Structure 1
């Protein structure tokens, strides 16, 4: 008799666990593209949709909030209706190769500024090479938050 109660208790616990699993899956959402998004393309909200996750076995690591995706760049082709892996997203560059920017060199109270053109794309805090447009010299510097490059002393 005790064995039967124990077995019934185990069966009830298993049924409760299975009943709870779909409700957890019902509360999960994913962000999916509505159009194909190509590598290097900036992601805008008009190309995204929020859908309910119906597959309880879907692995994590996908975007579940629009704020995680909008404004980011894709590193891989994202297909319509498929989840967006967070690992395939990166921040847009603060400095674009070939654009024009301001070089700033500080030493003591002296500040020298000049126009420059970055040799590579870069994010804030990256050290990049920049061609001084006035002299043609290539200098290295750190990308600042305002889009300027702080030149390093040799």
Structure 2
């Protein structure tokens, strides 16, 4: 696939993932869009789906090979698990954990908050409980 086509597919994939359009995401993946990609802003499709709570799209992207721990953006975003936890998207958090997301991974290249920190800041107690059950360490440094 040429570079221009790949760039176009990646942009469309992130856009579809951000609105939870699972059918379009599936079609783009079949057309050759890589699950582990970014758009021009550095946003990954998995982060876009997770931060919007699109659990079905999260599941599809993970099954297609997206890494659950890839950080998104150029400093303004973070990990998919942190994005989902920040907004209390429990089902997206469950999918990410089930596919091996590190519950203690700090965003901002290891200097920021963990998903549990974000769940606590947002008063998402149920999300925090899912993270703890999924192995999050409340004392992670």
Category of TM-score, reference length = shorter chain: under 0.3
The alignment's TM-score, normalised by the length of structure 2, stands at: 0.27
Larger helix percent: 2
- Higher RCO (C-alpha 8 Å, min separation 6): 2
Structure number, greater radius of gyration: 1
